[in-house]
Homo-oligomer: A and B are copies of this chain.
Amino acid sequence: METTATTADTCAGPEPAARRPDGRDQYTISEVVAFTGLTAHTLRWYERIGLMPHIDRSHTGQRRYTNRDLDWLDLVGKLRLTGMPVAGMVRYAEMVREGDHTYTDRFELLEATRRDVRERIAELQDTLAVLDRKINFYADAGRALASERS
């Protein structure tokens, strides 16, 4: 059976399965699934679309991820929840592969992303204010109904 994302990680299992030290950092795809919460499908898909660096293989062709790959996936995860489209992350990954001459471009992409994130936080705080007002309204209405009944 293909390993699917165990999202409902009820109450901290036995161990968070710690990373191994650099040098002996060879993780199977299902270990990476456990680390990242992504599915194996998604990890393979990320590779197909060029979002991952080259991933090592065992002598029989199975993927062996490193700590560096895990770090990259952490960054991808963060960028993903900023709403950055996958295509943008692929562009960044390509620039990383292309080498040092892309430094300024990468810098600019990251700064643009930072601006977006700041903006999104502001929007959400705005929404939070609206929500608070509405929730207070409902709380008042609830109290009014309660006192009416008493």
In the complex, the count of this chain's copies comes to: 2
Residue of B nearest to A80 (CB): B127
The answer to whether A47 has its CB under 8 Å from any CB of chain B is: no
C-alpha spacing A147/B134, complex, angstroms? 56
Residue-wise, chain A 118-142 has the 8 Å CB interface mask toward B (1 for contact) of 1011011111101110110011011
A interface secondary structure, majority: helix
The answer to whether A107 has its CB under 8 Å from any CB of chain B is: yes
CB neighbours (8 Å) of A100 from chain B are 145
A125 near B114 with CB under 8 A, answer no
A107 near B75 with CB under 8 A, answer no
CB neighbours (8 Å) of A145 from chain B are 100, 103
The answer to whether A113 has its CB under 8 Å from any CB of chain B is: yes
**Closest-CB distance, A141 to chain B (whole angstroms):** 6
Interface residues on A, range: 20 to 34
A135 touches which of B107, B127, B132 (Cβ 8 Å): B107
Residues A138 and B81 in contact in the complex (CB < 8 Å), given A117-B131, A124-B120: no
CB neighbours (8 Å) of A130 from chain B are 75, 78
B138 near A103 with CB under 8 A, answer yes
Q: Which residues of A contact B (CB under 8 A)?
A: 75, 78-79, 81-82, 100, 103-104, 106-107, 110-111, 113-114, 117-118, 120-121, 123-128, 130-132, 134-135, 138-139, 141-142, 145
